[in-house]
Amino acid sequence: DLQVKMDANATSEFAKFKAAVGPKKIVSFGGWGISTDVATYQHLRNAMLPSNVDAT
């Protein structure tokens, strides 16, 4: 399951972030542990598969 759970305020702020034009935008999830730990690092790799990337 590659869903991100956010409260209403975070959802509103993320919508503003997505709508902004001008600078290139980068979103980062997780941290050192989630990206290197054997039990979780595959989650981030799977999230970036073409079938899981939203082009909009």
15 phi, psi to nearest 5 deg: -60, -40
| Residue 2: φ, ψ to 5° | -105, 40
* pLDDT > 70: percent of the chain: 89
pLDDT over 60 (residue 29): yes
**Could you give phi then psi for residue 14, rounded to 5 degrees?**
-65, -35
- pLDDT computed for residue 53 by the predictor: 84
Question: How high is the pLDDT of residue 16?
Answer: 92
pLDDT band at 22 (very low <50, low <70, confident <90, very high): very high
pLDDT, residue 21, reads 93
Q: Domain coordinates of the chain in residue numbers?
A: 8-52
* Mean confidence (pLDDT) of the chain: 82
